[in-house]
Amino acid sequence: MSKYLVAIDAGHGMNTGGKHSVKLSSDLYVNGVLVRKKGQIIKENEWNRAVSEYLAKALTRCNIGYMYTADMTGKTDVALATRSYKANKARADILISNHYNAIGTASQWQTRVKGLLVLRTKNSSSKSITLGKLAVKHLAKDIDYEYSYGLMRDVDMSGYTLAILRQSSMPSILIEYGFMDYEKEAKLMLNPSHQEKCAEAVCKAVCEYFGVSYIAKKNQTSTGSTTTIGSKKTLYLRVIADEVNIRSAADFTDESVIGIVKKGGVYTVMEEIERPDTNMYRLKSGVYITASKKYVEVFEL
């Protein structure tokens, strides 16, 4: 059992008004997979949840405990006061709130403001300042940011203190990983490798803060209902139907559909998820697709 507990706050929820990117000016592909169509938006919560989940995995690997303050299904928006209360009640050692920024209503792309911003609240403890500086250090080092604002006070950026930081009793920071209305950064929001890279950088900061060793990720075998494709063989998937939906989660709900792939497309399979009806594959890009032989075929090279 870890001696440390990190409260991970997955920022604004799926239903929080106005928290989304500008409408995409072209189809968005990640590793050859269409993940969002032209004219659609990316909700901030899609990033917030993904980077939070990657951070939880990284912390676990480094023997650091974690808890979530938000609804990780994305179905409900948990009040900020409730989130702080949960973290305070659990006596978390630190809190990290994950977000993606915008300078306005995200009605059109802007080219003036971009990059990394880490916030701590007005009159925060020296420990919050230390944690924030470490987050800036590791994120700026590991991620190719065009610009970094460094660590700043919330009141200096927004004119008021942020509730999640103000109401949390432990050292707390809020990270804005980029701008949803700056096109280059918005296009990274659905990229699993970028999500994971950011989470690993934050994990390094947490490890340094606590004085524990950071354990780098290795190829791991999952247990339970998920079968990880081992390193001795690589499986590929070919789409044989005219079009097949790709999804943000291993389910068949309408809400999880985020795009399509067309007949003939070939993708790397990372794992197979067992389901009571039809199994699903997780692709290298991080999206999910049905394992039904009516729609796809899997082969080795």
CATH no. for residue 247?
2.30.30.40
Task: From 181, 210, 239, give the residue that closes a domain.
Answer: 210
When mean pLDDT is compared across 3-7, 31-35, 48-52, 209-213, the lowest value belongs to 31-35
Helix (H, G, I), strand (E, B) or coil at 179: strand
In a domain? residue 145: yes
The CA-based dihedral angle spanning residues 84, 86, 92, 96, taken in that order and rounded to the nearest 10 degrees = -50
Q: Is the pLDDT of residue 167 over 60?
A: yes
Read off the amino acid at residue 264.
Answer: G
Closest alpha carbon to 248 in 79, 96, 72: 72
Phi and psi at 57, nearest 5°, equal -65, -40
Q: Write down the H helix ranges in the chain.
A: 44-61, 80-89, 126-142, 154-158, 163-166, 183-186, 192-210
The CA distance from 104 to 180, in Å, is 10
Q: Are residues 29 and 121 in the same domain?
A: yes
| Number of separate domains in the chain | 2
In a domain? residue 218: no
The share of the chain scoring above pLDDT 70, in percent, equals 95
- What confidence score (pLDDT) does residue 140 get? 97
- What confidence score (pLDDT) does residue 185 get? 97
In a domain? residue 295: yes
pLDDT in tens, 202-252: 999 999 999 999 999 875 333 334 444 444 578 999 999 999 999 888 888
pLDDT in tens, 49-67: 999 999 999 999 999 999 9
- What confidence score (pLDDT) does residue 95 get? 98
Both ends of the chain: CA-CA distance in Å? 42
Q: What angle do CA 110, 116, 41 make, to 5 degrees?
A: 45
pTM for this prediction: 0.78
- What confidence score (pLDDT) does residue 49 get? 94
